[in-house]
Amino acid sequence: MKKRMTAIFLTAAMTVVMMTGCGSKEGTTESGGDKGTGDSYTVGIQQFAEHGSLDNCREGFIKGLEEEGIVKGENLTLEIKNAMADTATNAQIADGFASDKVDMICAIATPSAQSAYNAAMDKEIPVIYTAVTDPVAAELADKDGNPVGEITGTSDKLPVEEQLKMIRALLPEAKKLGIMYTTSEANSVSAIEEYQLLAGDYGFELIEKGITQTADVALAADDLLEQVDCMTNLTDNTVVASLPTILEKANEKGIPVFGSEIEQVKIGCLAAEGIDYIALGKQTGKMAAQVLKGEKKASDIPYEIITEPGFYVNNKVAENLKIEIPADLTEQAIESFDEISE
C-alpha cells in the first residue's frame, strides 16, 4: 500500500530529532560549515522524548535535508537535544536554541513544537515541526489552518477509523477498548475526541485513562487492564515511552495491545494501521530545506500529512495470544514481524 503526502492548511512548528544524553544537560553537535555563512546552516533539533517513532522522524528529517543538498559534515551543523519527556527541560532546550540564534529549530512532537515556537517567535528563527497530530488544537495554526507565524511542518494525525476497523476485524467479540493518554498533550486530547466520536460505530465502549506523568503509567495500566478486552495506543509521547511496561502487564493478562505505528508493533503490539515516521520526517526535511535556502518562508508552506496508512502486524504476538490474522489483512501488510524486538 503506497503512502502519499498531501498538503493541507498552513501551520507552524519544527521537527525534533535525536536522543542524546539526559535532556539539555548533554547535547550532540555534528559540525559542517560555519554558522551564518550563507550556504552553511546550523539547525537545532529538539526531540521531546526517546522512542522509536520520534527517532525515526529525526532520521528522516536529516535524510530529507541531505536529499536537498544540506548535508551534515559539509554545510550543516546539527545541535541535537532530547527533553526526555520533561516539560521544564523541553522549555530550556528551546530557550537555548533561541539564545544561540540557530538558523532553524526542528521540533519533534507537539510539546517541542509549542515550546520552540514560543521561544523563537520574536527571534526571527523559523520553526519546522514533525509528529504534531493536530496543529490547530496545539495553537500552531488558526481555526482556518493558517499559520500563526514562521512555523510549519508535518502532522502525524492518526487514522482512527482505519484502526478501529482493523481492531474489529481481528477481535470480532471485543466490547471494551482501552486508551491511556496524557491529559496535557494536545495531540492526545484531540485523538481521544475522535475515538469518542467513532468507537461506537464499530461496537466498542471506549474506556479512557488519563495520566499526567511517567510515574502514573504502571498504576494506570493495572486499572485499565482490569476493565477492557483490548487496548490501543495513540502517538502519546509519555505513554509510548513507557510502552514496554504496559505490554508486560497486558501480556500477563492475555490482553491484546494495538499500536499506532511500526515501532510499537516491533516491540510487542499486535498490529497497527499506522504511518511511516521516516517518510514523515523526510518530507519535513525537504520543507525545511526550502526555508533554509530562502526559497520560501515557513509561513508560506502548508503543513502536510500522510493520508494513507499502512497495516503492520506482529505474527509472534498473534501466536502468543492465539489470534488468527485474516488473510485479507495479511495480504495488505506493509510489513510483518515474526519476533518481538527487545
DSSP assignment letter at 141: B
Nearest to 266 by CA among 242, 243, 236: 243
* Structural domains of the chain, ranges and CATH numbers in brackets: 5-156+275-306 (3.40.50.2300), 160-274+309-337 (3.40.50.2300)
- What pLDDT score was predicted for residue 219? 97
Per-residue pLDDT of the chain (342 residues; tens, 9 = 90+): 433 333 333 333 333 333 333 344 345 665 554 444 458 999 999 999 998 889 999 999 999 999 999 999 999 999 999 999 899 999 999 999 999 999 999 999 999 999 999 999 999 999 999 999 899 989 998 787 778 999 999 999 899 999 999 999 999 999 999 999 999 988 899 999 999 999 999 999 999 999 999 999 999 999 999 999 999 999 898 999 999 999 999 999 999 999 999 999 999 999 999 888 999 999 999 999 999 999 999 999 889 887 778 999 999 999 999 999 999 999 999 999 999 997
pTM of the model: 0.79
pLDDT value of residue 255? 98
Contact between residue 225 and residue 250 where contact means Cβ atoms under 8 Å apart: yes
Name, in order, each residue with C-beta under 8 angstroms of 172's C-beta and a sequence gap of 6 or more.
none
Please tell me the distance from the alpha carbon of residue 266 to that of residue 272, in angstroms, as a whole number.
10
Distance CA 236, CA 109 (A): 9
CA distances from 242 to 47, 84, 277 (A): 16, 12, 19
Do the beta carbons of residue 57 and residue 64 sit within 8 Å?
no
Q: Rounded CA gap, 300 and 149, in Å?
A: 10
- What is the separation, in whole angstroms, between the first and last Cα of the chain? 27
Q: Strand pairing of 5-10 and 302-306?
A: antiparallel
Whole-number CA gyration radius for the chain? 20
Instruction: Give φ, ψ of 239 to 5 degrees.
Output: -65, -45
Q: Which residues contact 125 (CB under 8 A, 6 or more apart)?
A: 97, 98, 101, 102, 103, 104, 105, 150
